[in-house]
Structure 1
């Protein structure tokens, strides 16, 4: 699971770095990229293997210090994203002030960490000796800034959630709840630091519960942030699959009409293998096939109706129309009667593209079954 999370973070960082390279002056995008980059760099330092490796090289406690500084930068850049998104000009001024705050906190906890022996700095939040002022300040100062930055980001997310429509609102509400819960967890941990610094004790079960709340809130925030994009991707994949299927189902009708009127076949934009699977290529071939089928039906329509029928050919069932299409294509140029003017055929009752495609597919399916 840890490897999957780290791989997902790395993939997100690479993608955002690519987007940033294409839009280097996009301040909100820059903030998101730096936020993800800081989170991705801090994550390995929270694992035992990564922490022990850094501590072996740079001294015990260095990994914990770097991880906390990176977490401060993560929430700072997250807050900057909202500042720039609301008003880039005013957000730039506010971001500079906030940069001074996060720099001051980072310097302060660094001084606190290096002013105590390495052995004292060992352990985790639950096992650290908070009666030592530097240790209490390290955890308390970092926790209070995290509470502040997460609270500001949660307030902005709540505001955007109220202004947005679904599915973005759903994801934003989940992200706002996650940010708010993280801020609450950081505030409670700061209270724990104060209690332990004064010589009191905090039940282990209570610290475990707060740690669990922190994990759940982080997961809710991640799900909320990814929900709109994931839903959009799922919708896009479903559309891609449906159009590939409809493209294949239109093949019998298209082949019949392309054989009769090869000049209606449009020139493909690309013939590469990769283009056959790309979303843009699939959608382009889908729409091109619909246009080619419609052009062919217009050309063949004068050969379908008898003089007595007139426009009644409009109401022919797909099976009957398929039979007449095949017969018309087979008899063209073989002594058939001189065609009259074109008439619309296979026209749906609803005036929209989806109904038009369904009508064409019904005729094409009838041709396939009658082959």
Structure 2
């Protein structure tokens, strides 16, 4: 258990959990083929990572036979990588993608079959053993790791090339995540190349060049971390932006209360008929609903009061909120006293405010001015 919960493994578990949770959330919102492909990629990598842990692989081998965990681990890595290649192909090839995707399954199938056959011809006592100086000269083990490694090299380099291609058209936030993923995949590919060279040199020519194997390990580990960080980054940034926006809308909702209150007292009919949903002020989306609802009701109230306002009220709101608040209070008193208005609707907000977000800024200033001088 100690190796499973080492600092590096804990970091990897956190990254895998965050990445997989974010991808599952995206699939529930939009169950498209690209979303499913990326989710399958992250799920495959996460499962392969778990099978690399001794405490889990030992249990799998004890249940299904020696070497099964090692085959499953490498097969899941290959499947995850293939899913990522399919994602890029599906996004780029349009109607031709189905034939090309089917072609991608051929090398994947060949790699998995090769791993199974290589394990079968390996002596039972050597199956599932890691690659090293004492095992690299065993044909079954060498073929197993070489076959798995060559497919990883192909898939990693193909995905890196696709990501670099997409960097040109991606927006800034997505570009950062893609760049991290590309660097991570290229790093992992370099590590896989070192391991393949180690096998070829030792198996074909005899000498064991340990430095090649040692160099490959950090490249693969760092590459995996960078890839997961790149996959997680856009989602994490989007969540942080959503939290900031939620906090902003909650604050604005409270800040608009003074203006909303006086307008509702004068015009109760501006309150929208559909009541707020239960829990709207607590749920993430509900905060946005009640915020926009308040802005709409305030704007409707100002429109109803506008016959009692001067024609330039909208510009006064933008230039002098204090004067606009005084004019608004005077208009409310005239309305309450039953005075006759000119009957003409006026511009109640600055020109150019063509959406709710643009309306909020002057309304916040007007609401703040309404509380002064009471």
Do Structure 1 and Structure 2 share a fold, with TM-score over 0.5? yes
User: Helix, strand or coil: the match of 1:77?
Assistant: helix
Moved more, 104-113 or 317-326: 317-326
1:88 and 1:313, CA in 2 relative to 1: closer, same or farther beyond 3 A? Answer: closer
Output one character per residue of 1:185-243: Cα deviation in whole Å (capped at 9) or x when no partner: 21121001112223212245x53332111111122222222333332332222222212
Output one character per residue of 1:302-329: Cα deviation in whole Å (capped at 9) or x when no partner: 4455xxxx74785373234334434543
User: Helix, strand or coil: the match of 1:338?
Assistant: coil
- Pair 1:280-2:248 in alignment: no
Between the aligned partners of 2:313 and 2:104, the Cα distance in structure 1 is 74
The structural deviation recorded for 1:135 is 1.1
| Within-5 A mapping of 1:340-355 | 340-342=342-344, 344=346, 347-348=349-350, 351=353, 353=355, 354-355=357-358
Output one character per residue of 1:222-268: Cα deviation in whole Å (capped at 9) or x when no partner: 22223333323322222222122111100110011001100111124
- Pair 1:208-2:214 in alignment: yes
Where does the alignment leave 5 or more consecutive residues of structure 2 unmatched?
A: 1-6
Q: Counterpart of 2:369? A: 366
Q: Counterpart of 1:296? A: 301
Moved more, 354-363 or 249-258: 354-363
1:128 and 1:290, CA in 2 relative to 1: closer, same or farther beyond 3 A? Answer: farther
- Pair 1:53-2:56 in alignment: no
1:39 and 1:346, CA in 2 relative to 1: closer, same or farther beyond 3 A? Answer: same
Between the aligned partners of 2:218 and 2:18, the Cα distance in structure 1 is 26
Between the aligned partners of 1:207 and 1:368, the Cα distance in structure 2 is 72
Q: Counterpart of 1:315? A: 316
Question: 1:42–1:67: 8 Å Cα contact kept in structure 2?
Answer: yes
Between the aligned partners of 1:136 and 1:329, the Cα distance in structure 2 is 87
The structural deviation recorded for 1:10 is 5.5
Q: Counterpart of 1:254? A: 260
Moved more, 191-200 or 136-145: 191-200
Question: 2:193–2:216: 8 Å Cα contact kept in structure 1?
Answer: no
Output one character per residue of 1:117-149: Cα deviation in whole Å (capped at 9) or x when no partner: 233235423455111111111111110111011
| Within-5 A mapping of 1:86-97 | 86-97=92-103
Match of 1:325 among 317, 324, 328: 328
Task: Find runs of 4+ consecutive structure 1 residues off by over 6 angstroms.
Answer: 21-24
Work out the number of aligned pairs and report it. Answer: 363
| Within-5 A mapping of 1:35-50 | 35-50=41-56
Where does the alignment leave 5 or more consecutive residues of structure 1 unmatched?
A: none
Question: 1:346–1:360: 8 Å Cα contact kept in structure 2?
Answer: no
1:172 and 1:333, CA in 2 relative to 1: closer, same or farther beyond 3 A? Answer: closer
Output one character per residue of 1:145-173: Cα deviation in whole Å (capped at 9) or x when no partner: 11011111211111111233322233223
Question: 2:306–2:348: 8 Å Cα contact kept in structure 1?
Answer: no
1:153 and 1:262, CA in 2 relative to 1: closer, same or farther beyond 3 A? Answer: same
| Within-5 A mapping of 1:96-107 | 96-107=102-113
1:184 and 1:269, CA in 2 relative to 1: closer, same or farther beyond 3 A? Answer: farther
The structural deviation recorded for 1:112 is 1.2
Output one character per residue of 1:267-318: Cα deviation in whole Å (capped at 9) or x when no partner: 2464211x3233433223222212211222233344455xxxx747853732
Question: 1:290–1:357: 8 Å Cα contact kept in structure 2?
Answer: yes
Superposition CA RMSD, Å = 2.9
The structural deviation recorded for 1:67 is 0.7
The structural deviation recorded for 1:340 is 2.7
The structural deviation recorded for 1:37 is 2.9
Q: Counterpart of 2:4? A: none
The structural deviation recorded for 1:18 is 7.3
Moved more, 240-249 or 318-327: 318-327
Question: 1:72–1:142: 8 Å Cα contact kept in structure 2?
Answer: yes
Instruction: Please report the TM-score for the alignment, with normalisation by the length of structure 1.
Output: 0.85
